[in-house]
C-alpha cells in the first residue's frame, strides 16, 4: 500500500497496522506535508484546539543506580564521586516548595540505588502525602516498581496495591524505551523486560492507578519496531483504558555512554527534526482515538520545536518541571524549568488556547486571556529567580 493510500485510510479514521505506521515513518516531500496535515486534522477532530499543561516539579532523588543502561548519562555507581542521594527532609522541602509555587503534581523518579529497604518507595510516597496531602504523587517507573517488589519479596500486584494505599496517584510509563527485547538488549542489557513492563502497567491499570505511556526513539530501532511499539500501547489501552497520555521522547545522544564511548554502532548524534515530527504524526494516527493526549516534550526538543509539534498531532505541552536532571545529564539543552507564563506564550504563538490541567487531564483553568498585570506580577514574584537557582539546588545536598 502506498503512503498516500495509508493516509487516505487514516483520514477515514480507520485503524492503521504496524506495517502502515512503518511506511509512514518514511514519508518525504508532499507525503510528509500531508502526513502532518492529516495528523493535525485528526487532533482537531478528537480534542479541539486547547493545549494543556501541568504545573509540576520533578524530584530525581538519587542518581545512584545498580543498572548501566547504554543510553543513560544520569546514573552513577554507588562509589562515584558524582553520586548523590537526597535525604528525606530535602525531598519533603522540595515538595512543600512546589506546592507553594502552585504545583499540583510532583513527579518522582530516580536511579535504582543498592541496599535500600524493599519498602523504600512505599515509605517515601507515604511521607510525601503526610507532608502535602493535596499534591498528586506521579511516581516510580515500572523498573522501580519491579525493583521494590523484588527487594521486598512481594508480588508486583501486592507492591502496587501498597503504594496505592499510601496515596500514589499515577505511574509514569517510562523505562519503556522500545518495547522489543532484542532492541532492549542492545541499548540496556539487564533492563526490565517487555513482559515485566507490561505486567506492571496492566497491574496498575487493574488496580485503578492510571499511567502515562512513552517511547524513546531515534537510536537503533527500525521504523517497524517503532510502529509495533505504538501498536502494543494501543492494544494495552483497549484492554484497560488506563493510559492518560503518550509522550514521545527523542534520544539525546550527546552524553549517552553508548554514543560517547561508541559502545553501539550506527547511532546518530541527534534525531532529525523531520523524524521528530513524523513520530508525533504517526503516533496520533495510530493511537487515536484510544490515547487522545499526546505530549510535546519541550525538555527534549526545546519550546520552539515543541510548539511545532502542536501542528503534527500533539495537544499537550507537558509540565513546568522545576527540576529535571535525567535529560539534562544526557545533554539536553532545555531542561530544568519553564515558567507557566512562557509556556502559555508558546502555546498562543501556535494559535492555540492554553489550559492548565491536572495530572489526569482534568481542566483546572482556561486562559482565554492572560491574567491581569497584577496577577502576572504576583506570579513573577512568586517564581522569582527560582528558575536560576534550581540547577545549583540539585547539588547542595549530596550523600557521598
Q: Quote the DSSP letter at residue 66.
A: S
For the ranges 207-211, 270-274, 300-304, the one whose mean pLDDT is highest: 207-211
> What pLDDT score was predicted for residue 316?
98
**Which H or E run includes 19?**
helix 18-24
| CA terminus-to-terminus distance, the chain | 58
> What pLDDT score was predicted for residue 373?
54
Mean pLDDT computed over 308-332: 74
Confidence class of residue 257 from pLDDT cuts 50, 70 and 90? low
Contacts of 296 (CB under 8 A, 6+ apart): 280, 306, 307, 309, 310, 314, 316, 317, 318
CA separation, residue 74 to residues 38, 96, 387 (Å): 37, 25, 20
In tens, the pLDDT along 237-255 reads: 999 999 999 999 998 755 5
By the 8 A CB rule, do 155 and 149 touch? yes
In tens, the pLDDT along 218-234 reads: 998 999 999 999 999 99
180 vs 399, which has greater pLDDT? 180
CATH 3.40.640.10 fits 41-393, yes or no: no
Lowest mean pLDDT among 133-142, 283-292, 344-353, 368-377: 368-377
> What pLDDT score was predicted for residue 258?
58
Positive or negative, the CA dihedral 360, 363, 368, 369 is: negative
Q: Give the residue from 350, 344, 375 showing the smallest Cα distance to 52.
A: 344
162 φ, ψ (degrees, to nearest 5) = -65, -40
Please state, as a whole number, how many other Cβ atoms lie within 10 Å of the Cβ of residue 185: 12
Distance of alpha carbon 380 from alpha carbon 385, whole angstroms: 9
Look-up of cell digits 506570579:
379
Mean pLDDT computed over 299-322: 93
By the 8 A CB rule, do 211 and 198 touch? no
346 φ, ψ (degrees, to nearest 5) = -65, -40
Q: Give the residue from 308, 240, 244, 228 showing the smallest Cα distance to 276.
A: 308
Distance of alpha carbon 121 from alpha carbon 109, whole angstroms: 10
Distance of alpha carbon 326 from alpha carbon 72, whole angstroms: 8
170 vs 377, which has greater pLDDT? 170
Could you tell me the pTM of the whole model?
A: 0.88
Copy the grid coordinates of residue 41: 486534522
What residue spans define the domains of the chain? Answer: 41-393
> What pLDDT score was predicted for residue 189?
84
Strand pairing category for 316-319 and 243-250: unpaired
Lowest mean pLDDT among 49-58, 128-137, 187-196, 259-268: 259-268
Distance of alpha carbon 379 from alpha carbon 273, whole angstroms: 33
Amino acid at each position: 500500500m502506498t503512503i498516500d493510500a495509508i493516509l487516505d485510510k487514516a483520514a477515514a479514521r480507520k485503524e492503521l497496522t504496524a506495517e502502515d505506521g512503518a511506511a509512514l515513518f518514511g514519508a518525504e516531500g508532499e507525503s510528509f506535508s500531508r502526513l502532518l496535515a492529516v495528523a493535525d486534522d485528526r487532533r482537531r477532530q478528537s480534542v479541539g484546539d486547547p493545549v494543556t499543561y501541568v504545573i509540576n516539579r520533578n524530584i530525581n532523588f538519587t542518581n545512584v543506580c545498580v543498572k548501566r543502561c547504554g543510553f543513560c548519562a544520569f546514573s552513577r555507581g554507588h562509589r562515584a564521586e558524582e553520586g548523590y542521594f537526597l535525604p528525606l527532609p530535602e525531598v519533603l522541602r522540595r515538595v512543600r516548595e512546589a506546592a507553594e509555587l502552585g504545583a499540583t503534581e510532583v513527579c518522582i523518579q530516580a536511579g535504582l540505588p543498592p541496599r535500600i529497604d524493599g519498602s523504600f518507595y512505599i515509605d517515601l510516597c507515604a511521607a510525601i502525602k503526610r507532608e502535602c496531602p493535596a499534591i498528586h504523587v506521579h511516581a516510580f517507573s515500572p523498573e522501580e516498581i519491579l525493583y521494590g517488589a523484588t527487594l521486598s519479596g512481594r508480588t508486583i500486584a501486592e507492591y502496587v496495591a501498597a503504594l496505592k494505599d499510601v496515596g500514589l496517584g499515577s505511574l509514569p510509563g517510562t523505562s519503556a524505551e522500545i518495547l522489543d527485547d532484542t532492541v532492549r538488549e542492545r541499548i540496556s542489557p539487564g533492563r526490565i523486560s517487555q513482559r515485566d513492563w507490561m505486567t506492571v502497567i496492566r497491574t496498575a491499570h487493574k488496580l485503578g492507578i492510571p499511567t502515562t505511556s512513552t517511547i524513546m526513539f531515534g537510536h537503533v530501532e527500525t521504523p517497524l519496531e517503532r510502529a509495533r511499539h505504538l501498536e502494543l500501547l494501543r492494544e494495552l489501552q483497549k484492554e484497560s483504558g488506563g493510559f492518560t497520555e503518550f509522550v514521545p521522547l527523542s534520544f539525546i545522544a550527546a552524553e549517552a555512554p553508548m554514543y560517547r564511548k561508541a559502545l553501539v554502532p550506527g547511532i546518530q548524534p541527534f534525531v532529525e527534526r523531520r523524524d521528530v515530527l513524523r513520530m508525533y504524526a504517526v503516533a496520533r494516527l495510530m493511537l487515536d482515538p484510544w490515547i487522545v493526549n499526546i505530549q510535546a516534550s519541550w525538555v527534549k526538543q526545546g519550546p520552539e520545536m515543541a510548539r511545532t509539534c502542536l501542528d503534527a498531532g500533539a495537544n499537550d505541552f507537558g509540565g513546568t518541571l522545576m527540576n529535571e536532571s535525567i535529560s539534562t545529564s544526557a545533554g539536553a539543552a532545555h531542561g530544568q524549568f519553564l515558567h507557566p507564563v512562557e509556556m502559555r506564550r508558546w502555546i498562543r504563538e501556535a494559535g492555540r488556547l492554553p489550559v492548565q490541567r491536572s495530572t489526569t487531564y482534568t481542566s483546572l483553568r482556561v486562559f482565554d486571556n492572560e491574567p491581569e498585570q497584577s496577577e502576572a506580577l504576583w506570579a513573577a514574584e512568586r517564581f522569582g529567580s527560582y528558575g536560576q537557582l534550581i540547577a545549583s539546588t540539585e547539588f547542595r545536598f549530596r550523600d557521598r
